[in-house]
């Protein structure tokens, strides 16, 4: 099986030797007890939360 390579990798750590190498990245993060950047829940900004509460669109 060939490794998964993503040219559109969302991780901001572009100097990481595992950047774009999904299988290696996921295995390394699992070994450390972490989630890879692309699998982490997205954080919502305070501004977007306020807009949502007020019923305003973006």
Q: What is the mean pLDDT of the chain?
A: 88
Q: Residue 27: enclosing H or E segment and its boundaries?
A: helix 22-32
Higher confidence at residue 3 or residue 45? 45
Distance CA 46, CA 14 (A): 27
Average pLDDT over residues 27-47: 90
Task: Say how many domains are in the chain.
Answer: 1
Distance CA 45, CA 51 (A): 10
Which value, to the nearest 10 degrees, does the dihedral of the CA atoms of residues 18, 24, 25, 27 take? Answer: -150
| Domain containing residue 31 | 1-58
């Amino acid at each position: 099986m060939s490794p998964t390579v993503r040219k559109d990798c969302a991780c901001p750590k572009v100097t990481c030797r595992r950047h774009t190498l999904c299988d290696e990245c996921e295995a390394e993060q699992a070994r450390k007890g972490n989630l890879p950047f692309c699998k982490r829940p997205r954080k919502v900004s305070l501004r977007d939360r306020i807009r949502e509460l007020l019923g305003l669109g973006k």
